[in-house]
Copies of this chain bind each other. A is one copy, B any other.
């Protein structure tokens, strides 16, 4: 079996932040090649009748999630600051990310987005925040923001989200092995890597 793993992430997802921070070192140690697959959870949630995050629809679950994130971030030494509103609209970040992964700087960009959003509480739907993040990565923000919003790039993101849906993905982060095994949640990252090792 190929030692590869697809990492499906949504930039609005708190636990995707934890997975994005953890997956690099763990995958290297496991000898597994990871393909980062940005997508949008929004259309998948809408298809099951949700118009916002389940953490907002079910306040008890939401309160718990933020407390759990506090504990996990403390354990991992990661900053945590809740952005307003939550969830953030992640479509711009996902579009820029697709360009970034095509050009080879997608992972650094992804981690920078999560740090801005959940480490500093910034609004990732804001074009100026996106420009800041790209500038800090020494990227040409004006060109990239234009490229991200082109019709063919928008269509690619729609295609990725449809692919996630076909794979049975219903939350983020999710991990899918070469033989189609689905693992959901940051808590299943180690199990997904072990499966990918065969």
Contacts and interface: CB of A to CB of B under 8 A. Distances in A.
Interface in A137-192: 168-171, 182-184, 187-188, 191
A182 B58 contact: no
A152 to B, nearest CB: 29
Nearest to A169: B60
A188 B171 CA distance: 19
A64 B191 CA distance: 14
Contacts of A168: 60, 63-64
Chain A residues touching B, range: 10 to 19
B61 A191 contact: no
Interface of A: 48, 58, 60-61, 63-64, 67-68, 71, 168-171, 182-184, 187-188, 191
